[in-house]
Amino acid sequence: MAAPLSVEVEFGGGAELLFDGVKKHQVILPGQEEPWDIRNLLVWIKKNLLKERPELFIQGDSVRPGILVLINDADWELLGELDYQLQDQDSVLFISTLHGG
Amino acid sequence: MCQVGEDYREPVPKDPPPPPRPGHEQQKCMKWCVKCKKGAPVLVIRAGDAFCRDCFKAYYVHKFRAVLGKNRLIFPGEKVLLAWSGGPSSSSMLWQVLEGLSRESAKQLRFVPGVVYVDEGAACGRNPEDRAETLAEVQSILRSTGLPWHGVALEEVFGLPQSVLRHFSQEPAMGDGAYKEAVDGFIQQQQGLGTEGARDSPSLSPGLEQLSWPSPHNPQSPARPHTAAETEALSRLFNSVRTLTAKEELLQTLRTHLILHVARTHGYSKVMTGDSCTRLAIKLLTNLALGRGAFLAWDTGFADERHGDVVVVRPMREHMLKEVAFYNHLFAIPTVLTPAIDTKAPEKASIHRLMEAFVLQLQAQFPSTVSTVYRTSEKLVKAPRAGRAASPSRPCCLLCLCMLDVDSADSATAFGAQSTTALSLRQAPALQTQAKEPTVPCCSPGLCEDRGCCRGARPSEREDLQACVIEQLCYSCRVNMKDLPSLDPLPPYILTEAQLRNHRAQAMQEIQEFLIEDSEDEVETGQS
Distance CA B318, CA B479 (A): 31
Say whether pLDDT at A74 is over 70.
Answer: yes
Cα–Cα–Cα angle for B335, B313, B357, rounded to 5 degrees: 60
Q: Look at residue B437 in the predicted model and tell me its pLDDT.
A: 42
Q: Look at residue B192 in the predicted model and tell me its pLDDT.
A: 63
Can you give the residue ranges of every domain in chain B?
A: 33-60, 73-170+219-379
Q: Are B278 and A97 an interchain contact pair (Cβ–Cβ within 8 Å)?
A: yes
pLDDT per residue as tens digits for the range A28-71: 999 888 899 999 999 999 999 998 889 999 999 999 999 999 99
Q: Nearest CA of chain A to the CA of B449: how many Å?
A: 36
Mean local confidence (pLDDT), B377-390: 63
Is A34 at the interface with chain B, CB within 8 A?
Answer: no
Nearest residue, CB atoms, A97 vs list B23, B322, B346: B322
Q: Look at residue B356 in the predicted model and tell me its pLDDT.
A: 95
Sign of the CA dihedral with B378 first, then B380, B381, and B384 last: negative
pTM beyond cutoff 0.90: no
What does each C-alpha distance from B37 to B23, B41, B44, B261 come to in angstroms?
Answer: 20, 9, 14, 49
What does each C-alpha distance from B433 to B195, B408, B441, B459, B506 come to in angstroms?
Answer: 66, 24, 11, 11, 16
Q: Look at residue B172 in the predicted model and tell me its pLDDT.
A: 54
Q: Look at residue B21 in the predicted model and tell me its pLDDT.
A: 42
Beta-carbon count within 10 A of B376 CB: 14
Average pLDDT value for chain B:
77
Question: Which position has the higher pLDDT, A78 or B108?
Answer: A78
> Helix, strand, or coil here: B367?
coil
> Helix, strand, or coil here: B362?
helix
- Pick among A11, A53, A97 to test the B interface (most B CBs inside 10 A): A97
Strand partners of residue B151: B117
Q: Look at residue B418 in the predicted model and tell me its pLDDT.
A: 58
Say whether pLDDT at B219 is over 60.
Answer: no
Residues of B in contact with A98 (CB under 8 A): 356, 360
Distance CA B138, CA B134 (A): 6
Distance CA B380, CA B300 (A): 9
Sign of the CA dihedral with B405 first, then B410, B412, and B414 last: positive
Q: What ipTM does this complex have? A: 0.95
Q: Look at residue B314 in the predicted model and tell me its pLDDT.
A: 94
Nearest residue, CB atoms, A66 vs list B23, B27, B360: B360
Q: Look at residue B125 in the predicted model and tell me its pLDDT.
A: 86
Say whether pLDDT at A91 is over 70.
Answer: yes
Mean local confidence (pLDDT), B442-470: 59
> Helix, strand, or coil here: A39?
helix
Confidence of residue B424 (pLDDT cuts 50, 70, 90): low
Distance CA B216, CA B208 (A): 18
Portion of chain B with pLDDT greater than 90, in percent: 40
Distance CA B350, CA A45 (A): 28
> Helix, strand, or coil here: B43?
strand
Q: Of the given ranges (A52-61, A62-71, B183-192, B259-268), which has the lowest mean pLDDT?
A: B183-192
Confidence of residue B102 (pLDDT cuts 50, 70, 90): confident
Beta-carbon count within 10 A of B19 CB: 8
Mean local confidence (pLDDT), B66-80: 89
Beta strands in chain A (DSSP E): 5-12, 24-29, 58-59, 62-63, 67-71, 74-75, 91-96
Strand partners of residue B81: B114, B271
Residue of chain B minimizing CA distance to A16: B337
Mean local confidence (pLDDT), B364-389: 77
Alpha helices (H) along B41-108: 53-71, 88-102
DSSP label at residue A87:
-
pLDDT per residue as tens digits for the range B483-523: 999 888 999 999 999 989 888 888 888 887 777 555 545 54
Q: Look at residue B201 in the predicted model and tell me its pLDDT.
A: 38
Q: Of the given ranges (B15-24, B136-145, B198-207), which has the lowest mean pLDDT?
A: B198-207
Q: Are A79 and B18 an interchain contact pair (Cβ–Cβ within 8 Å)?
A: no
Mean local confidence (pLDDT), B164-182: 71
Residue of chain A minimizing CA distance to B50: A78
- For residues A82 and A37, the answer to whether their CB atoms sit within 8 Å is yes
Q: Of the given ranges (A56-65, B7-16, B394-403), which has the lowest mean pLDDT?
A: B7-16
Nearest residue, CB atoms, B44 vs list A17, A78, A93: A78
Question: Which stretch of DSSP H or E encloses residue B508?
Answer: helix B492-527
Torsion angle of alpha carbons B464, B469, B472, B475, nearest 10°? Answer: -110
Of residues A69, A74, A64, A62, the one with CA closest to residue A93: A69
Of residues B67, B21, B24, B68, the one with CA closest to residue B47: B21
The answer for residues whose C-beta is within 8 angstroms of residue B290's C-beta and 6 or more apart is B245, B249, B351, B476, B479, B480
- For residues B294 and B311, the answer to whether their CB atoms sit within 8 Å is no
Ramachandran bin of B473, using left for φ above 0, alpha for ψ from -120 to 50, beta for the remaining angles:
beta
Q: Look at residue A48 in the predicted model and tell me its pLDDT.
A: 93
Is A66 at the interface with chain B, CB within 8 A?
Answer: yes
Is B339 at the interface with chain A, CB within 8 A?
Answer: yes
Question: Which position has the higher pLDDT, B456 or B346?
Answer: B346
Is A53 at the interface with chain B, CB within 8 A?
Answer: yes
Distance CA B435, CA B338 (A): 53
Residue of chain A minimizing CA distance to B358: A65
DSSP B160-181: --GGGGS--------SHHHHHH
Residues of B in contact with A94 (CB under 8 A): none
Nearest residue, CB atoms, B360 vs list A14, A65, A100: A65
- Pick among B34, B120, B130, B329 to test the A interface (most A CBs inside 10 A): B329
What fold, for A5-96? Ubiquitin-like (UB roll) (3.10.20)
Say whether pLDDT at B425 is over 70.
Answer: no
Say whether pLDDT at B376 is over 90.
Answer: no
Q: Look at residue B412 in the predicted model and tell me its pLDDT.
A: 52
Indicate the class that CATH gives domain B73-170+219-379. Answer: alpha beta
Say whether pLDDT at B26 is over 60.
Answer: no
Q: Look at residue B316 in the predicted model and tell me its pLDDT.
A: 95
Mean local confidence (pLDDT), B387-407: 68
CB-side neighbour CA atoms (13 Å) of B506: 13
Q: Nearest CA of chain B to the CA of A44: how many Å?
A: 21
Is A93 at the interface with chain B, CB within 8 A?
Answer: yes
Say whether pLDDT at B304 is over 80.
Answer: yes
Q: Look at residue B214 in the predicted model and tell me its pLDDT.
A: 31
